[in-house]
Structure 1
Amino acid sequence: MEIERKYLITQPPAGYSSHPYHFIEQGYLSTEPVVRVRREDDVFYLTYKSKGLLEREEYNLPLTRESYEHLIKKADGHILTKRRYLIPLEDSGHLTIELDVFEGRFKGLVLAEVEFPEREEAERFIPPSWFGEDVTFSGDYQNSRLSRLP
């Protein structure tokens, strides 16, 4: 189960790029239901996600590089590329901000996601002051939706 909040970021915090990051490339074989192939650095997998905004089921299946390269060519819409910076959330003790800085077609878009172990914790979450608009429930910034933009 994936439980996450998502925020639009207009001004990332100073020094964000000094944090560890992953390079991510992903494409969507289907957006209803969501079936995605992703390369995260040198790890490859296929993901299924159920419907939902704050909370949804998610399953990952490992892929070989060859399988990924075959499937990414079959993706509908745009291939998304981004750097995901992992920033510890101070005072939480266990949460991490995943700061997605998009490249390519969506260069300039920055989103922050925070995943939670329980729905109640996600509902009580108070974001850092540098977070912008909470877009969790709009769906407009879901990667699967971005992939379909004209």
Structure 2
Amino acid sequence: MEIERKFLIHTLPEDLDSYPSSTLEQAYLCTEPVVRVRRSDDTYTLTYKSKGLMSREEYNLPLTRDSYEHLKAKADGNVIRKRRYRIPLESGLTIELDLFDTPFEDLRLAEVEFSSEEEALAFVPPPWFGEDVTWSSKYHNSTLSRKHV
């Protein structure tokens, strides 16, 4: 089960380059339910996600590079490319800050994953977080993949 909250980001942390980051590329084979292939640096994954906003079932299966490339070619819509920074919080949680490449280069999203819905609902975001968009599917990467650009 994936339990996460999502926020728009308008101001980036000053020391962003001091945090670990990865280059991600993901393509969607289906958006209802979500079936996605992802490359994170040199790791390849097939992911299934059920419907939902804050809480959804999620299953991940490893792929080879060849399998990833074969499936990516079958994607519907946009292939999403972004840099993901992992920023630790004092609470032990981690912010995953995504800075998107073209055509979504103006979009900055932060996600925080939780172990329970109660923990997610009690979360107080850092002051540099913008609008809470957890309850809007508009900011799901699967939705962006279908957006005409």
TM-score, with normalisation over the residues of structure 1?
0.97
Structure 1 distance, partners of 2:136, 2:97, is 19
**Structure 1 letter corresponding to 2:108:** V
Which residue of structure 2 aligns with residue 43 of structure 1? 43
Letter in 1 for 2:89: L
Residue 98 of structure 1 aligns to a residue in which SS? strand
Give deviations 1:20-43, integer Å, cap 9, x for gaps: 001100000000000000000100
1:128 maps to amino acid: P
Unpaired segments ≥5 residues, structure 1? none
- The count of residues paired between Structure 1 and Structure 2 equals 148
Give the equivalent residue in structure 2 for 1:145.
Answer: 143
CA distance in 1 between counterparts of 2:112 and 2:51 reads 18
Aligned positions of 1:98-109 closer than 5 A: 98-109=96-107
- Superposition deviation, residue 115 in structure 1: 0.2
Show CA shifts across 1:7-64 (max 9, x none).
0001111111221001100000000000000000100010000000000000001000
Q: What stretches of structure 2 of length at least 5 have no aligned partner?
A: none
Q: Distance in 2 between matches of 1:45 and 1:55?
A: 20
CA RMSD of aligned residues (A): 0.6
* Structure 1 residue runs of 4 or more that deviate by more than 2 Å after TM superposition: none
**2:98 corresponds to 1:135:** no
TM-score normalised by the chain length of structure 2: 0.98
The answer as to 2:76 corresponding to 1:64 is: no
SS in 2 for 1:75: coil
Identity %: 66
